[in-house]
Every structure is written in structure tokens, then in C-alpha cells.
Amino acid sequence: MTKFQINDPSLESQWRALILFGKNSATYKFAFAKSLLELVNKETTKISLTELSQPFSRNIIDHLKNNDKQGNSKSSSFLNICRSHIKGEISDAELWSKTEKLGFVNVVDAFQNINGGKIPDIFYEKNYTKGNKEIIIKDNLLKLKESFHFQNFNQEVEARWKLVETAWNLNLNPKLLDVKYDEDKSLFFLENDFMRRTNITSVRDSLNGYQKGKCFYSFQDISVVSGSQNLCEVDHFLPHLNKTIHNEFGANINGVWNLVLADKEINRNKSARIPEKRFLKRLFNRNEFYIESKHPLAETIINQTGNTKQKRIDFLNKQYQIALDFAIITWKPEIEIKGNF
């Protein structure tokens, strides 16, 4: 059980823990997660590996076309099959057949594990008896489909996948990793030594899971789906207004460490005001979730705020005090539900 799940044993939290905190030796778990979400949306109660092979291989191929490196291993028979399909060397039928044999060797068993053990409320069981090769969907996964947060899961998986594979394919030294924020487009991006920009993914999609799909301040449910009436906004925890002053004290106010998601009405009410200091602990916890998860954004947060917990605490306290010195008064939301991180 990760700290992410302390005081929060919900099914949504368990699903997000698998996506956000599991190992990143390969991207198969992301393709598997997206395939599960797609098939459970059809309210099926069991899924054969034959059925899974089509969405699973499609998701892998979609990403291979843009980023060839999809794991730490130097070679992969399954990925080579997918590459052959991209080149037109094998048919759909052969791709699906080989995916069934090679694509699920480890991922079915490993997907529900975190920190050396299974999550408390598993989402499926494996049935490989009497010639079967299928997974039996548990009520937990079907209940998850009824959750408000189900609408956000696919985009959250995709965002995590893009960040992981981009870091691999650019072959960046983690100590130099600096994910940047494009405020106009609400995107995260990277630049290489030649100042070439690589757009990675939506800021909303990247931040939402680590806030458990909640407004950072009010803890109301928020959405990352375009057109939703609950669509959240990206907020600077410490106001962008004092950017120059923070820069003088070694802080990038546009850094990932200072970006949170908020309900649009809450965010507009907050405007450029300073949140009450109690929210600083929540910001620290949210940033630590990234660091615990070995996420590419973790390296950026460490580079921006400090390489030990104490340094990160001192950094946040210092930047908060700088902001407060220029604001004098603090703000709190008019609506607030008790949070769990």
C-alpha cells in the first residue's frame, strides 16, 4: 500500500495507484490498462486473451509509430512483431495471434501488483484452466465504471504513458530533466540541447491522477474531459504575479511543483490570492506522490525544489513566505470537502 492510499482505500485510488506508482520497465501495463477500460465499457464479465489482443496491440502500435522505445529491454520479440505489422510485413490476423502468445507473458500477473503485493480489491482474476486463456472481470472493475472518475482514467493513462516514453526516447539524463509548462496551450513540453521542443501531454491529464481527480482546494470532483461542465483549470498555487521576485530566490513559479488543478469557479474566486498555509502541506504531499512514483515529472520536481525531503520542505516554506510578504492576507475556498492527502 502506498502513501497515496492512506485514508483512501477507494477503488479509484487503487486503480490510480497501479497506473501512477507501478514499475516502468516497459509500457505494456499502459496498453493493458487502456484495453481493460475499453472492454469493460462494454460491460463484459470475462475477456479472452484473443479479445484482448486486438486493443492491446493497437495501443502499442499507436505509440510505437511515434516513439520506438517502449521499454528498458534491448530487444523484445513482441515489439518486433508490432514493428513488422507497422511495416506491412504481417497481417492483422498474424499480429493478433502473436500478441496472444507473446504480449501477455508478464503483464496479466503483474498489473495488479504494487510494492510487492496485490491491491486489496483486485479488478480481475486469471483463468488459464482447462484450455482457457481469459480473465474474469470482478465486480470491483464494473463498479469502477460507474464512478464519476471513470471518464478521466483513459486520459490519465495516456498522459503517464507519454511522459515515460518521451523521457526514454529522448535519452535524457534525469538530473537534467526539466519538463516545462506552456500556459497558453496547457501542455507540458521538453527541449533538447538544440532547443527543439517536444510537446508531451496535457497538463490536466498529467496532474489529475495525483490529485485523485479532486479540486486541489475544495476537494470537489473535477473532470479533464473537454466539454465537461466539471472541466478543471490549471492554477498556480503561488501566484504567477510575483514571478520575477520568486526567480530572484531560485524558484520557477511555472514549475510543475507549483501547478495544481482546481474547479473553475473555485479557481476564479481564488484569482491571484495566496492560499492559507495549511494547503502548503497538501502541495508537498502531492509533489511527493510524483517522487514516490518514479515519474518523469518527479525528476523535474526534485531538480526544481531539492533532492531531499527536508530541502523540499524548506523550499516550499521559503517561497510561501516570499509570496505572503507581498500579499499580507490569505484565501480559502467558500466550499470545502475534507481531503485525504
Output the CA–CA distances (angstroms, integers) from residue 273 to 103, 235, 261, 333, 337, in the order listed.
Answer: 51, 11, 15, 11, 20
What is the rounded average pLDDT for all residues in the chain?
A: 91
pLDDT in tens, 170-188: 776 656 667 889 989 999 9
250 pLDDT exceeds 90?
A: no
Mean pLDDT value across residues 86-93: 97
pTM, 2 dp: 0.90
The pLDDT of residue 2 is 57
Task: List Cβ neighbours of 308 (8 Å cut-off, separation of 6 or more).
Answer: none
Q: Which residue has the cell 497501479?
A: 18
The pLDDT of residue 103 is 95
Question: Quick one: which H or E segment has residue 51?
Answer: helix 49-64
User: How many whole angstroms separate alpha carbon 323 and alpha carbon 328?
Assistant: 9
Maximum average pLDDT range among 7-21, 118-132, 177-191? 118-132
The pLDDT of residue 122 is 96
The pLDDT of residue 192 is 67
User: How many whole angstroms separate alpha carbon 130 and alpha carbon 220?
Assistant: 47
How big is the chain, counted in residues? 341
Backbone conformation region of residue 184, classed left if phi is above 0, alpha if psi is from -120 to 50, else beta: alpha
pLDDT in tens, 123-144: 999 999 988 999 999 999 999 9
Task: Give the range among 127-141, 184-198, 235-249, 301-315 with minimum mean pLDDT.
Answer: 184-198
Output the CA–CA distances (angstroms, integers) from residue 47 to 18, 88, 134, 148, 226, in the order listed.
Answer: 20, 28, 5, 24, 30
Mean pLDDT value across residues 7-23: 87
Mean pLDDT value across residues 20-47: 87
Confidence of residue 210 (pLDDT cuts 50, 70, 90): very high
pLDDT in tens, 62-82: 999 999 999 888 889 999 999
Q: Where are the domains of the chain?
A: 3-145, 150-331
Confidence of residue 1 (pLDDT cuts 50, 70, 90): very low
- 168 compared with 139, residue with greater pLDDT: 139
